[in-house]
Amino acid sequence: MSMNVKDAIAARHSVRAFVQEPLAEAEISELLEAGRNAPSSLNSQPWRFVVVTKPADLAWFGTSEATRKQGWLAAAPAIIVCCADLAHYVKDSQSAAFFYRDNKIIDGEPMDGIDAYVARQAAADEASKFGACAMNVGLAVSFMMLRAVEMGLGTCWIGMFDEANIKARLGLPAGWRIVNLLAVGRPDEPEVYPRKRKSLEDIVLK
Ligand SMILES: Cc1cc2nc3c(=O)[nH]c(=O)nc-3n(C[C@H](O)[C@H](O)[C@H](O)COP(=O)(O)O)c2cc1C
């Protein structure tokens, strides 16, 4: 199936019921590829992904230790654990700043602004670094969610989870934080409810 971005945005909705069959590795790679190409602050690309497809792990994700008893998750054929690598974020931002300067892509005052931004990030506490990284990870996940629609797949962003438990179970590096889980599979929904959205008048300041 091929569709334009407008159609993919219109069709995307959170899918919480899936056909019980595994996804092909190539399908997962396609999703990750979409995320890999997302924009990020100073091209820092702080996103890291762990693809969970083992039945025992998936079953565990439906338990209270992992996701506060969101039992339906156990029936997802794949869960992508979307992480932020705080340990490398500042260094990777710095590298891009060097690249911009060396190649004169950005010069003068804006470059000073970038240097100041990187210095602020280097001095920032973990919560601020996580906020900056999570914004970038969220963009990558958005790209993945739209690509999934084009591929006939459904996704759901899961924000309610127990980070410490999941980090321990999957053995994630200490410098990583989990931003969200992304459930993925072929939709098997009895009914798709119309999405409720605020009107433009509600969200645009005139
Ligand atoms: C930050 C965030 C956290 C969310 N957490 C959960 C969650 O833990 N469980 C869940 O079933 N859906 C979760 N969702 C999905 C939202 O409920 C859903 O996007 C929203 O109701 C709008 O519906 P739609 O995605 O179908 O347009 C989350 C979405 C976002 C963006």
- φ/ψ region of 160 (left if φ > 0, alpha if ψ in -120 to 50, else beta) reads beta
Our answer on whether the CB atom of 13 is closer than 6 Å to any ligand 1 atom is yes
pLDDT of residue 192: 85
**Going by C-beta distance under 8 Å and a sequence separation of 6 or more, which residues neighbour residue 8?**
146, 147, 149, 150
Domains and CATH numbers, the chain: 5-189 (3.40.109.10)
pLDDT of residue 112: 87
Q: Are 33 and 151 in contact (CB under 8 A)?
A: no
Q: Are 105 and 192 in contact (CB under 8 A)?
A: no
pLDDT of residue 58: 95
Please state, in angstroms and rounded to a whole number, the distance separating the CA atoms of residues 139 and 40.
8
pLDDT of residue 1: 59
Q: Whose CA is nearest to atom 31 of ligand 1?
A: 157
Closest by Cα among 40, 139, 49 to 96: 40
- φ/ψ region of 45 (left if φ > 0, alpha if ψ in -120 to 50, else beta) reads left
Calculate the dihedral angle through the C-alpha atoms of 163, 168, 171, 172, rounding to the nearest 10 degrees: 20
Our answer on whether the CB atom of 156 is closer than 6 Å to any ligand 1 atom is yes
**Gap from CA of 103 to ligand 1 centroid (Å):** 41
Our answer on whether the CB atom of 158 is closer than 6 Å to any ligand 1 atom is yes
Q: Whose CA is nearest to atom 19 of ligand 1?
A: 14
Our answer on whether the CB atom of 159 is closer than 6 Å to any ligand 1 atom is yes
Per-residue pLDDT 10s for the chain (206 aa) are: 578 999 999 999 999 999 999 999 999 999 999 999 999 999 999 999 999 999 999 999 999 899 988 999 999 999 999 999 999 999 999 998 888 888 888 888 888 888 898 899 899 999 999 999 999 999 999 999 999 999 999 999 999 999 999 999 999 999 999 999 999 999 999 888 888 999 999 999 99
Q: Whose CA is nearest to atom 12 of ligand 1?
A: 158
Our answer on whether the CB atom of 195 is closer than 6 Å to any ligand 1 atom is yes
